[in-house]
């Protein structure tokens, strides 16, 4: 299981998460997000990161032209689409794509099959937010046959990561608000506690 830390807005937090073992860092380019970060800041951050950590650009209903331009300029490795994008949009993007889906009780999982050239991120549904709500959705809704293939987001923390391992075992988890002091700023102690628990589970120490 991999770990992506999203909502990175500064170099200090990026290096902190990298040092504790994050596999990927997410940078949000949606201006209405509390965790929006300027492209020039991301450029400064990515220059200092290890080439072995995944740099993910998060976009909401952005044009593919803008996405491809920023991806090239900022040396991103992957694109995350967190809006209402269509399957044909993915075909126009030059990097691997993660497509986010907000899961409600009546979500139709058959729609995932239309996005054949993307990885799937499952997040909590919100009427007002495209992500980062910090709320957990009903994991029992996830079909068994895809549980170990998805990226799981929404309210994941050190308090429930053991349940994630035991009951879902997804390909990756995506965290943001549970590791913050405020939107866009990570808390070193929270990051430390999460990775201590996560690594203990990953390496069978608990």
6 flagged as catalytic: yes
Longest Cα separation, the chain? 47
Per-residue confidence (pLDDT) for residue 135, from 0 to 100: 82
**Active site residue: 89, 123, 174, 187, which one?**
123
**Active site residue: 6, 13, 78, 174, which one?**
6
The model's confidence at residue 73, banded by pLDDT at 50, 70 and 90, is: very high
Instruction: Please write the tens of the pLDDT for every residue from 51-67.
Output: 999 999 999 999 999 99
List the one residue out of 111, 116, 110 whose CA is nearest residue 88. Answer: 116
- 133: its two tokens: 């709500």
13 flagged as catalytic: no
Mean pLDDT in residue range 18-30:
97
Please state the φ and ψ torsions of residue 19, each to the nearest 5 degrees.
Answer: -65, -30
pTM metric for this prediction = 0.94
Concatenated DSSP letters of 75-133: T-SEEEE-SS--HHHHTT-SS-EEEEEEE-TT--GGGGGG-TTSEEEEEE--SS-SS--
d(CA 183, CA 62): 22
Residues of the chain above pLDDT 90, percent = 91
11 has a pLDDT exceeding 70: yes
Q: What letter does residue 58 receive in the DSSP assignment?
A: E
Structural domains of the chain, ranges and CATH numbers in brackets: 2-202 (3.20.20.70)
131 has a pLDDT exceeding 80: no
Per-residue confidence (pLDDT) for residue 199, from 0 to 100: 94
103 has a pLDDT exceeding 90: yes
126 has a pLDDT exceeding 80: no
Cα 146 to the chain's mean position, in Å? 18
Q: Which region among 7-16, 42-51, 128-137 has the lowest average model confidence (pLDDT)?
A: 128-137
């Amino acid at each position: 299981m991999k770990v992506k830390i999203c909502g990175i807005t500064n170099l200090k937090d990026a290096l902190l998460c990298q040092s504790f073992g994050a596999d990927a860092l997410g940078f949000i380019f949606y201006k209405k997000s509390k965790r929006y970060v300027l492209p020039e800041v991301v450029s400064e951050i990515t220059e200092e990161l290890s080439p072995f950590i995944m740099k993910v650009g998060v976009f909401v209903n952005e044009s593919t032209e803008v996405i491809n331009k920023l991806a090239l300029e900022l040396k991103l490795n992957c694109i995350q689409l967190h809006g209402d994008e269509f399957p044909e949009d993915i075909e126009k993007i030059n990097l691997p794509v993660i497509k986010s889906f907000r899961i409600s009780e009546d979500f139709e999982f058959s729609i995932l099959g239309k996005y054949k050239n993307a990885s799937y991120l499952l997040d909590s549904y919100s009427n007002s937010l495209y992500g980062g709500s910090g709320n957990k959705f009903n994991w029992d809704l996830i079909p068994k046959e895809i549980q170990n293939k998805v990226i799981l987001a929404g309210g994941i923390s050190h308090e429930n990561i053991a349940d994630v391992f035991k009951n879902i075992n997804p390909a990756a988890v995506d965290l943001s608000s549970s590791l913050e002091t405020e939107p866009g700023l990570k808390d070193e102690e929270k990051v430390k506690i999460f990775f201590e628990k996560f690594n203990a589970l990953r390496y069978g120490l608990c």
